[in-house]
Amino acid sequence: MQNSIRIIASNWWKEAVVYQIYPRSFKDANGDGIGDLAGIFSKVDYLTELGVDAVWLSPINTSPMFDFGYDISDYRAIDPVFGSMADFDALVAALHKRNIRLLLDLVVNHTSHQHPWFVESRASRESAKRDWYIWHNGKKGAPPNNWQSVFGGSAWEWDETTESYYLHSFLKEQPDLNWRNPQVKDAVFADIEFWLQKGVDGFRLDVVNCYYKDQQFRDNPLRLWGWRHPRPYELQHHVHDMSQPEMHPLLRDLRQLLDKYDATSVGEVLVDFSGDPELAAGYLGRDDELHMTFDFTLLDQKWDAKAMANVLRTWLNACGENWPTLAFNNHDRSRSYTRYAKRGESSQRAKILAALLLTMKGTPYLYYGEEIGMKDGSVSRAEMKDPVGIRYWPLAQGRDPARTPMLWDDSANGGFTSGTPWLPVNDDFAGRNVASEKNDPTSLWHWYRELLSLRKQHAALRLGDWKEIYGGKDVFAYRRTIGNESIDVFLNFSAKPVTLPPVEGKILLSNCSRHELQGALTGHEILMVQSNAVAR
């Protein structure tokens, strides 16, 4: 029988700012050129100084690294390249001591082909774990249907041993689990609980809408081929191998488990080629499925106040009573600094984006290096590591440019490693790194820090209601209100001056040493005004 008592967990995750670390690229402590847990441990004071409340680590479990950790062969162990369980425990303790929570990446749509479950499953048709994965006979010597891997090519791999096909929505080294088998759910939930008991505060769920597939294995409808999309090699709409309704009851069960530990969750919802706010918000249920999901349309916007306002309004509306997230960067996409680069305007744009991220309604997610304005690295074909980049170069560059090493200082390799970095260090590291930006009070790093601290001081920014207050072409402006505190935010996306609508109150933040609320907004001006709703 289902336990009907709903544990009322706290809402810490609504007030937190999350910092995503790609562990291979953050800090290498032992000189092998690959970032590790000891490296992250050595930077916990940096995280405190910056002012984030939680860290999300991209996968650190044992993995043969075909997809750099998104192919896990042991859910309960730490990959030796990242360190040991003792390193992990030390990191959790160090973070918790500083009131920083820890989220892990939960990659359970698929395992590695080297996971003992799959090894057993593929050994024979009679294996006890045969039905833990999705096996199918071919159709007249061809795969069972037309489903394609998100990384291109058929999603079915022929396996000689038992003369049968298995399904892999990503690489062939990432076989999909069969979530229709209750044993899979029990085993994965036990692995989740293992980490909850170790003190983990939540999970980011990889491709959370892919777990279930159409039981009749119907073909997906085809789409027109397009160059301009980040995955131009995708030739179909994932109607039957993604977003099946069975996911919702599963997430309700997961929510109960997480709430028992006051842990949170944030889901990656994959869609054909971009984001889909309605679909992403759909996995929040009635605040009884995932705590949060990402809307990737936020990463596909051009630099335009109106377009940005539209996409955020749509996302907040889709979330309704549930809680939104905000993220302009992650390990799969070109970095925002590069996406919005424009001669003479890039650094101003980065400050506007930071202000947007940290003053909008929703839990902000920063990606390592965003706070110093890291650009996409240039990674040559010879240096490339991402299997997707390697497979589709030069049609697509893959994801390595967004995964280059963190730039700590102007010493060799930007202070990332004493060895040879696994990906090249960005060539502008001497002028753009944490140490140099700390020394410059006008830097992007100081700007992020100031915004993070304002957010901490003002409940209106963390939890307040949100409403647009001005619909100009170049200015995005909104008001955050809680109790009798209200904060107005004006962001001028253009390089031109724009009339400032009438506004009263105290200037909380300005990027151009403004002292009065008269006059136009200057080009790229960022202005935050605090007013007392009662006095209004």
Which residues are designated catalytic? 206, 268
Report if residue 207 touches ligand NOJ, rule: CB under 6 A.
Answer: yes
Does residue 28 belong to the site contacting Ca ion (CB under 5 A)?
yes
Say what the alpha-carbon torsion angle 234, 265, 408, 70 is, to the nearest 10 degrees: -40
Which H or E run contains 292? strand 292-293
Minimum Å gap between C-beta 241 and ligand NOJ is 14
Contact pattern from residue 36 through residue 75 relative to Ca ion, giving x for each residue in contact according to CB under 5 A and a dash for the rest: x---------------------------------------
Pick out residues in 455-484 that bind ligand NOJ (CB under 6 A).
Answer: none
Closer CB to ligand NOJ, 336 or 511, in the complex: 336
Binding site partner of 207, from Ca ion, ligand NOJ, none, Cβ cut-off 5-8 A by kind: ligand NOJ
One residue of 28, 67, 79, 234 binding ligand NOJ per CB under 6 A: 67
Q: Which helix (H) or strand (E) holds 193?
A: helix 182-197
Q: Give yes or no for residue 167 binding ligand NOJ (CB under 6 A).
A: no
Burial of 245 (0-12, 13-18, 19+ CB in 10 A): exposed
Residues 97 to 156 in contact with ligand NOJ, rule: CB under 6 A? 107
What stretches of 201-345 show up as alpha helix (H) in DSSP? 247-260, 277-282, 305-319, 336-339
Choose among Ca ion, ligand NOJ, none what residue 422 binds, the Cβ cut-off being 5 to 8 Å by kind. Answer: none
* Contacting residue, 16, 17, 34, 281, with Ca ion by CB under 5 A: 34
Q: Would you count residue 70 as binding ligand NOJ (CB under 6 A)?
A: yes
Among 206, 400, 437, 474, binds ligand NOJ (CB under 6 A): 206
Question: 245 phi and psi, to 5 degrees?
Answer: -65, -20
CA angle 56, 194, 244 (to 5 degrees): 70
What is the rounded CA–CA span in Å between residue 429 and residue 406?
9
Interface mask toward Ca ion for 241-280; x: CB under 5 A: ----------------------------------------
In terms of CB distance, is 34 or 461 closer to Ca ion? 34
Q: Is 173 in the site for ligand NOJ (CB under 6 A)?
A: no
Query: Is residue 30 at the binding interface for Ca ion, with CB under 5 A as the rule?
Result: yes
Half-sphere exposure of 133 (CA within 13 A, CB side): 34
DSSP per-residue letters across 91-153: HHHHHHHTT-EEEEEE--SB--TTSHHHHHHHH-TT-TTGGGB-EE--BTTB-SS--B-TTSS
- Dihedral of CA 371/476/315/210: which sign? negative
Residue 444: enclosing H or E segment and its boundaries? Answer: helix 444-457
For ligand NOJ, the closer of residues 363 and 413 by Cβ is 363
Which residue carries 């390089």 as its tokens?
Answer: 495
Q: Tell me the number of residues near ligand NOJ by CB under 6 A.
A: 9
- Report the distance separating Cα 136 and Cα 256, nearest Å: 33
Residues near ligand NOJ (CB under 6 A) are: 67, 70, 107, 170, 206-207, 268, 331-332
Residues near Ca ion (CB under 5 A) are: 28, 30, 32, 34, 36
